[in-house]
């Protein structure tokens, strides 16, 4: 199923919804169609275009979210699926300072790791294992995470998302 980029009145991206949800928003007069892919869906009293970009009709004030929620999937996306100790394909996450030794479950303490490195490190401090971190873990920027989670960016979204995306994510 295709997706629809939802814009605020200010043309700032709010999020992405399924085509089905976008059609519902059009039929209930909650969004205006900005761009379409040419597809039309029929309903009981006629048909409606399926939007690929829609704009809400009244301004949506979003609460400020200072950090991206921490999850296994988010850590894997941030670390590009690579072990932060050896660079191989990661299949687990590891606490740099083990939780059993007072380490927190925060972005700065959790990294992607391959099974051999995770087993080698176990619940010991990093300094006693001979392993080193390839990059210092930190929280991802909220907007970058949003676009990484969407995956590829369709051409008709580019005028709205490229101003808020770094060049390496937009490509």
Contact (Cβ atoms closer than 8 angstroms) between residue 48 and residue 23: yes
pLDDT tens digit sequence for 78-133: 898 999 999 999 999 999 999 999 999 999 999 999 999 999 999 999 989 999 99
The pLDDT assigned to 157 comes to 84
Nearest CA-CA partner of 2 in 30, 29, 40, 31:
40
pLDDT tens digit sequence for 16-27: 899 999 999 999
Contact (Cβ atoms closer than 8 angstroms) between residue 161 and residue 170: yes
Give the global pTM: 0.57
pLDDT tens digit sequence for 126-165: 989 999 999 999 987 665 555 555 666 788 888 887 655 4
Q: How far is CA 64 from CA 16, 49, 85, 89, in A?
A: 18, 33, 33, 34
């Amino acid at each position: 199923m295709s997706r629809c980029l939802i814009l605020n009145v200010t043309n700032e991206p709010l999020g992405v919804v399924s085509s089905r949800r976008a059609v519902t928003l059009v039929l209930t007069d909650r969004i205006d169609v900005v761009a379409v892919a040419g597809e039309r869906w029929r309903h009981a009293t006629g048909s409606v275009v399926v939007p690929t970009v829609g704009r809400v009709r009244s301004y949506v004030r979003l609460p400020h979210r200072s950090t991206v929620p921490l999850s296994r999937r988010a850590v894997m996306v941030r670390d590009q699926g690579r072990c932060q100790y050896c660079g191989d394909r990661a299949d687990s996450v590891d606490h740099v300072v083990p939780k059993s030794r007072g380490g927190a479950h925060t972005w700065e303490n959790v990294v992607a790791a391959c099974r051999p490195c995770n087993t080698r490190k176990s619940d010991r401090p990093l300094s006693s294992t001979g392993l080193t971190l390839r990059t210092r873990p930190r929280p991802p920027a909220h907007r970058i995470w949003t676009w990484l989670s969407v995956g590829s960016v369709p051409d008709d979204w580019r005028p709205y998302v490229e101003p808020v995306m770094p060049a390496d994510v937009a490509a």
